[in-house]
Amino acid sequence: MTVSLNAARRTADLDALAGGAPVDVLVVGLGVTGAGVALDAASRGLRVVAVDAHDLAFGTSRWSSKLVHGGLRYLAKGQVGVAHESAVERGVLMTRTAPHLTHAMPMVIPLTDAVGKPQAALAMQGLRAGDLLRRMAHTPRGLLPGPRRLSVEQTIARVPGVSRAGLRGGLLSYDGQLEDDARLVTALARTAAAHGARVLTKVRATDLAGDSATLRDEVTGQTLTVRARAVVNATGVWAGGLVDGLTLTPSRGTHLVLRADRMPGTDVAVSAPVPGSTNRFVFTLPQADGLVYLGLTDEATDEIPDVPRPEEHEVDFLLDTINRVLARPLTRDDVVGSYAGLRPLLSAEGSTSDLSRRHAVLTSTTGVVTIVGGKLTTYRRMAQDAVDQAVSAAGLGAGSSVTASLPLVGAAPRHELARIVAPTRLVRRYGTEAPAVVAAAVEATGLPEADLLAPLSDRVPVTRAELVFGVTHEGALDTSDLLDRRTRIGLVPVDREACEDAASWALSVAG
Ligand X SMILES: Cc1cc2nc3c(=O)[nH]c(=O)nc-3n(C[C@H](O)[C@H](O)[C@H](O)COP(=O)(O)OP(=O)(O)OC[C@H]3O[C@@H](n4cnc5c(N)ncnc54)[C@H](O)[C@@H]3O)c2cc1C
Q: Using CB under 6 A, list all residues that contact ligand X.
A: 28-34, 51-54, 58-61, 63-67, 69, 204-205, 234-238, 242, 253, 296, 341-344, 374-377
> How near is the Cβ of 297 to ligand X at its closest, in Å?
8
Q: How far is the CB of 241 from ligand X (least distance, A)?
A: 7
Q: Residue 119 contacts by C-beta under 8 Å, 6 or more apart in sequence?
A: 273, 278
Element counts in the chain: helices (H) and strands (E): 16, 18
- Beta carbon nearer to ligand X, 150 or 256: 256
CB contact burial 142-159 (16+ within 10 A = b; e otherwise)? ebbeebeebeeeebbebb
Q: Which is nearer to ligand X, 205 or 456 (CB)?
A: 205
Half-sphere CA count of 453, side-chain side, radius 13 A: 17
Q: Which is nearer to ligand X, 69 or 324 (CB)?
A: 69
- Is the Cβ of residue 120 or residue 342 nearer to ligand X in the bound state? 342
CB of residue 299 to ligand X, shortest distance in Å: 10
Q: What kind and span of H or E run contains 83?
A: helix 80-92
DSSP 145: P
CB 272, min distance to ligand X, A: 17
DSSP letters spanning 467-478? HHHHHHTB---S
* Cβ–Cβ < 8 Å for 426, 73: no
The Cα–Cα gap between 267 and 424 comes to 17
Run of H or E including 13: helix 7-17
Cβ closest to ligand X, residue 61 vs residue 403? 61
Spatial separation of the C-alpha atoms in residues 49 and 477, rounded to whole Å: 19
Residue nearer to ligand X on the CB measure, 131 or 181: 181
C-beta of 52 vs 481, nearer to ligand X: 52
Least distance in Å: CB of 464 to ligand X? 27
Minimum CB distance to ligand X smaller for 45 or for 367? 367
> What is d(CA 148, CA 141) in angstroms, rounded to the nearest whole number?
13
Longest dimension (CA), the chain: 71
Minimum Å distance from CB 102 to ligand X?
11
Which of 98, 109, 79 has its CA nearest to residue 174?
Answer: 109
- Minimum CB–partner distance for residue 226 and ligand X (Å): 12
Closest to ligand X by CB, 301 vs 363, is 301
For the chain, how big is the Rg over CA atoms in Å?
A: 22
Q: Does an H or E element contain 189, and which?
A: helix 181-194
Please state the closest distance from residue 68 (CB atom) to ligand X, in A: 6
Cα separation, 346 vs 483, in Å, equals: 31
Strand partners, 250: none
Element housing 50 (H / E): strand 48-52
CB of 26 vs ligand X, minimal distance in Å:
10
Q: Please, which residues have CB within 8 angstroms of residue 395's CB and are 6 or more apart in sequence?
A: none
Report in angstroms how near the CB of residue 156 gets to ligand X at its nearest.
28
Residue closer to ligand X by CB (options 23, 111) is 23
